[in-house]
Amino acid sequence: MPWRHMFKLDPERTISDEALDKICMSGTDAILVGGSTGVTFDNTVDLLSRIRQYEVPCVLEVSDEEAAVPGFDHYLIPMVLNTKNSDWLIGHQQRAVREFGSMLPWEMVSSEGYIVLNADATVAKLTEALTELEASDVIAYAQVADRLMRLPIVYVEYSGTFGDMDLVRQVRNKLHQAQLFYGGGITNLEQARQAAASADTIIVGNILYDNLEQALQTVEAVRVNNER
């Protein structure tokens, strides 16, 4: 996945046409459509059709079987590694594969090993994530995803708060083949630069809804800092 910067839009939240225009024309590498709750077939189709007026690639991060909408450029399937409840690691995914079977466009599908680290985030509560972890625990989860499960993506998720960049860098340094996504609490260019220096790909979400102009500036981070 060649992308270094993605904006994540939540189908459950309202975004104006004017804001969407700025987001899609911002120079971001791709738009990721996803949210942890309230994602439906209808609100996902609606957002996809609006984004499709632009050339930017559009990726669906599938978080609900009911919202598996055809027509995206790629599909990302989260698997939460540090959950107490195996439904969020493999249960939902097994049921969806059973249901969709031969309809699945496998060549357009990549799995993501999520490590959820902000206990206050909706995603942490929903997935019963074990967030009280030592750095060595986090690194070991990442290595399980990378070396044992051979997942193409490890996603360090601090949704709602800016994470520990030193830890993110330590994770990246231990990865063998997986690409490291970082998302959570990026609210300005400086944080985006730090995150872009620590992970392969950064994802910017909530600030789009809170301060669009600051969010748009984060695209610049991957232009000035694209080592690794």
Ligand X SMILES: CC(C)=CCC/C(C)=C/CC/C(C)=C/CC/C(C)=C/CC/C(C)=C/CC/C(C)=C/CC/C(C)=C/COP(=O)(O)OP(=O)(O)O
> Residues annotated as binding site for Mg(2+)?
10, 36
Of 60, 203, 219, 222, the residue at the interface with ligand 1GP (CB under 6 A) is 203
Least Cβ distance, residue 114 to ligand X (angstroms) = 5
Question: Which residue of the chain is nearest ligand 1GP when measured via CB?
Answer: 183
Task: Determine contact, residues 202/182, Cβ cutoff 8 Å.
Answer: yes
Q: Hey, what's the torsion of the CAs at 178, 167, 191, 53, to 10 degrees?
A: 20
Of 78, 113, 163, 205, the residue at the interface with ligand 1GP (CB under 6 A) is 205
Task: In whole angstroms, give the CA distance from residue 180 to residue 203.
Answer: 11
Eight-state DSSP code of residue 84: S
Task: In whole angstroms, give the CA distance from residue 124 to residue 176.
Answer: 26
Q: Which is nearer to Mg ion, 13 or 174 (CB)?
A: 13
Footprint on this chain of ligand X (rule: CB under 6 A)? 10, 34-37, 61-65, 68, 70, 75, 77-78, 80, 88, 92-93, 96-97, 100, 103-104, 109, 114, 121-123, 126-127, 157, 159-160, 205-206
Closest CA to 157 of 143, 171, 147: 171
Q: Which is nearer to ligand 1GP, 104 or 209 (CB)?
A: 209
Task: In whole angstroms, give the CA distance from residue 104 to residue 226.
Answer: 34
| Interaction residues for ligand 1GP, span 23-42 (CB under 6 A) | none
